[in-house]
Amino acid sequence: MDKIIMTGLQFYGYHGVFPEENKLGQRYQVDVELMLPLDKPGRSDRVEDTVNYAEAYEIIRNIVEGQVFKLIEALAEEIAAVLLRTYASIFEVTVRVLKPHPPVKMFFDGVKVEIHRKRV
């Protein structure tokens, strides 16, 4: 399957289990892989025949920056669901959400979830 891959999307959101996270917020990084046929737009060279990644970026930004989730798992799930609902041409989507500095007493680069969803 062909893919449109968007990596390293940076947003500021207010997700987390702790009240401070919901108040102070932090940076999040999102990667998405959209599985869809790209032969038609490859031949036509028309944005109308593909997923406009600038539009997809705005959809993702509105979710990450405009909604609040306790878990990044729920954030990733919402991103996947909305992209699948919005674009009939997407057959499958993989979403990765990185929370670089979770407020826990551990020393590591962050925590990332990855989900893969298919059109039903």
Measured CA to CA, the distance from residue 60 to residue 53 in angstroms comes to: 10
Going through 1-120 in order, the beta strands assigned E by DSSP cover 3-13, 26-35, 92-99, 111-118
Name the catalytic one among 23, 70, 99, 112.
Answer: 99
Q: Tens digits of per-residue pLDDT, 91-113?
A: 999 999 999 887 777 777 789 99
Do strands 3-13 and 92-99 pair parallel, antiparallel, or not at all (unpaired)? unpaired
Catalytic status, residue 23: no
| 8-state DSSP, 61 | H
Instruction: Tell me the pLDDT band of 36, cut-offs 50, 70 and 90.
Output: very high
Contact 76, 113 (CB under 8 A): yes
Q: Sketch out the chain's domains with CATH numbers.
A: 3-118 (3.30.1130.10)
- pTM confidence score: 0.94
Nearest to 95 by CA among 56, 69, 68, 67: 56
Each residue's pLDDT tens digit, 70-79: 999 999 999 9
